[in-house]
Amino acid sequence: MIKSLEIKDYALIDHINVEFGKGLNIITGETGAGKSILIDAMSLLLGERASTEVVRKGAQKSFVEGIFDVELNKKVKSLLEENEIEFQPELIIRREISLKGSNRCFVNDSPVSLNIIKELGDLLVDLHGQHEHQSLLRTETHIEFLDEFANNHKLLEDYKSVYKELNCKQNELRELKSKEESLKEKKEIYGFQIKEIDNINPLPDEDELINNELNILENSEKLLELTDDVYNKLYDGEPSVIDLLGETKHKLNQLANIDKSFLESEGECDSALAVVKELANSLRSYKSRIDVDPKEIENKRERLGSLNLLKKKYGGSIAKIIEHREKIGNEFELADNFSAAINNLIKEINSLRKSAGEEAEKLSASRKKYAVKVESEVKKVLAQLGIPDAIFKVNIEQNESDKNDNHSAIVKNKNYICTETGIDEVEFYISTNAGEDVKPLTKVASGGEVSRIMLSLKTILAKSDKLPLLIFDEIDTGVSGRIAQKVGAALKDLASFHQIISITHLPQIAGMANNHFAVEKKQVDNRAVSSIKKLSDNERINEVAKLISGEELSKASIESAKQLILNK
């Protein structure tokens, strides 16, 4: 449950800090006073995206913080541990929206991503927006309600995983078939290019290697001249470095016989002689390998020219040539083997269609099982809400498709049209009067009935999900005064299992509150400011009386208010 909500510099709100209690928390106030602003601020704590437009004029940032009691919430604890956030009995969620465009999120004072805030919100609160009941008039939402009640999340994930893979393979098949004609046209060009590249057969980095070799071959005369000159100076010349070092060593030896300190110098001279001999041998060996072969030079120049021509045509480098050859090779092979490739892909698709069918069948079985429970539970709640003769029907249908339709799922050798939610089409049917046949909800329910049906669904969903907090923003839309008492009683009953925050304009519902808050808008320094106050017992009576008769209170409206509150 939520313990407190603090909002600062948000829209018309300067600064409020409201503490909610257990049970049914009712919020009332005149139209435009700022009731919905509270819900919008709460939505931020549940992961809704924020806009800088909400920052109050004159402020630099908006601030919204909620403190939740999560001591017994194992799912919240698990989520926090997964994200390495310290778990505490009180969970503090804070959002900051700056005019600079930054949007900061915190959980227990640790910075987190918006996704984590949203995941936490899904575990803590079910927020039913002001006009959300209208979603019941869209048939596609009915399957969502049923899956939520049946807790089909895992089954749906398993099915969607196969369905996604099936879609990918179907897209591959489409692309393959569309590519077939264009590849046939390109096959001749690809064949020529493959032959041209294969005839030369470039090797990785071959151009660099040939350039290095040519650089040596083209300078072989210079290399021979230089190595011969150096070799002569070191070994064959008169006098050579070897001769001079030998003479030097002899004299150092004579010096060492007189003064032992020259022994080290004599040793260094020996080392120098060894180095020069090794260098001379290396130069002699290198000279012997120099072979000025004009034909070899020409061959390498021709090879380099062929490689450069390929580089110019196919990407600028040998790596690009090899990459292009591999690509067109695959395309050429594909053009030759289209039938085999298509057949293999169709086999994969048919296997996935069977897998999709198996998962969809499990999903259907669960939906059919829980549809009976939904029908029964909704009927009970509708009776409590003033529609005693209601019949609520969850209609589940599957549509067969052509056996050659690759986009269908296969269930027990039959082909069914499938979508991302399975093979089922789910639609709610209802009859609100005795003796009438059930008809599609989208065509027969009035506004007030739709609100009560939504409340019924929310009631049974909440009981199955055990969500700690339910928020209703004017769930009483379209409900007449005669039925309002029963709607209030239903909310009150639901509040014995969950904490509820409900915005209402009906006195019969407001009278049911365990905690009553009033929102009002005042002019402060020529600016509109919204505030919220928890009402005392006497203030509650006056507030409910205002909902009955308007601003001008009468004895009758006050007495009526007392009766509504006392008889809750």
CB 46 within 8 A of CB 36: no
**Structure tokens given for 389:** 């003769």
Predicted pLDDT at 297: 79
Strands annotated E in 11-89: 13-19, 24-29, 61-69
Average pLDDT over every residue of 537-547: 92
Top mean-pLDDT range of 323-327, 337-341, 485-489, 547-551: 323-327
The yes-or-no verdict on residue 376 having pLDDT over 90 is: yes
Q: Which residues, including other chains, have CB under 8 Å from residue 225's CB and lie 6 or more apart?
A: none
Mean pLDDT over all residues of the chain?
87
Average pLDDT over residues 112-122: 91
Inside any domain, residue 286? yes
Per-residue pLDDT tens over the stretch 423-450: 999 999 999 888 889 998 888 766 667 7
Model confidence band, residue 301 (pLDDT cutoffs 50, 70, 90): confident
Query: What's the burial of 20, exposed, middle or buried (CB within 10 Å: 0-12/13-18/19+)?
Result: buried
Model confidence at 533: pLDDT above 80 = yes
Express each pLDDT in 68-99 by its tens digit.
Answer: 999 888 889 999 999 999 999 999 999 999 98
Q: State which of 124-133, 208-217, 510-519 shows the largest mean pLDDT.
A: 510-519
E strand or H helix at 430? strand 424-431
In a domain, 552, yes or no: no
Alpha carbons within 13 angstroms on the beta-carbon side of residue 93 total 29
- On whether residue 378 sits in a domain, the answer given is no
Instruction: Write out pLDDT tens, residues 474-505.
Output: 777 767 777 888 888 888 888 888 899 998 88
- Give the confidence band of 554 by pLDDT, cuts at 50, 70, 90: confident
Cis peptide before 202 (omega within 30 of 0): no
Angle at 428 between CA 425 and CA 429, to 5 degrees: 120
In the predicted structure, residue 219 carries a pLDDT above the cut 80: no
Both tokens of 159, joined, read: 């099915």
pLDDT at 128 over 80: no
Please, what sign has the CA dihedral across residues 27, 30, 32, 34? negative
What pLDDT shows up at residue 518? 93
When pLDDT is cut at 50, 70 and 90, the band that residue 106 belongs to is very high
Q: Give the rounded percent of residues in the chain with a pLDDT score beyond 90.
A: 41
Which residue range is the domain that position 295 belongs to? 206-313
How far, in Å, CA of 18 to CA of 501, rounded? 12
Measured CA to CA, the distance from residue 172 to residue 194 in angstroms comes to 25
For residue range 307-335, what is the model confidence (pLDDT) as tens digits?
999 999 998 899 999 999 998 888 887 77
Q: What is the pLDDT, as a whole number, of residue 102?
A: 80
Burial-class residue 195 by CB neighbours within 10 Å (0-12, 13-18, 19+).
exposed
The answer to whether the CB of 341 falls within 8 A of the CB of 334 is: yes
Whether 298 maps to a domain, the answer reads yes
- Say yes or no to pLDDT of 457 above 70: yes
Residue 183 has a pLDDT of: 73
pLDDT at residue 373 in the model = 94
Interatomic CA distance for residues 363 and 143, integer angstroms: 11
C-alpha–C-alpha distance, residues 146 and 426, integer Å: 8
pTM for this one? 0.61
In a domain, 14, yes or no: no
pLDDT given at position 309: 92
| Residue 551 covered by a domain | no
- Of 83, 47, 86, nearest to 70 (Cα)? 86
Separation of first and last alpha carbons in the chain: 22
**Number of separate domains in the chain:** 1
> Quick check: is 219 in a domain?
yes
Distance CA 337, CA 321 (A): 24
Count other C-beta atoms under 10 Å from residue 77's C-beta: 16
Cβ partners under 8 Å of residue 155, min gap 6: 359, 362, 363, 366
Q: Does residue 177 sit within a domain?
A: no
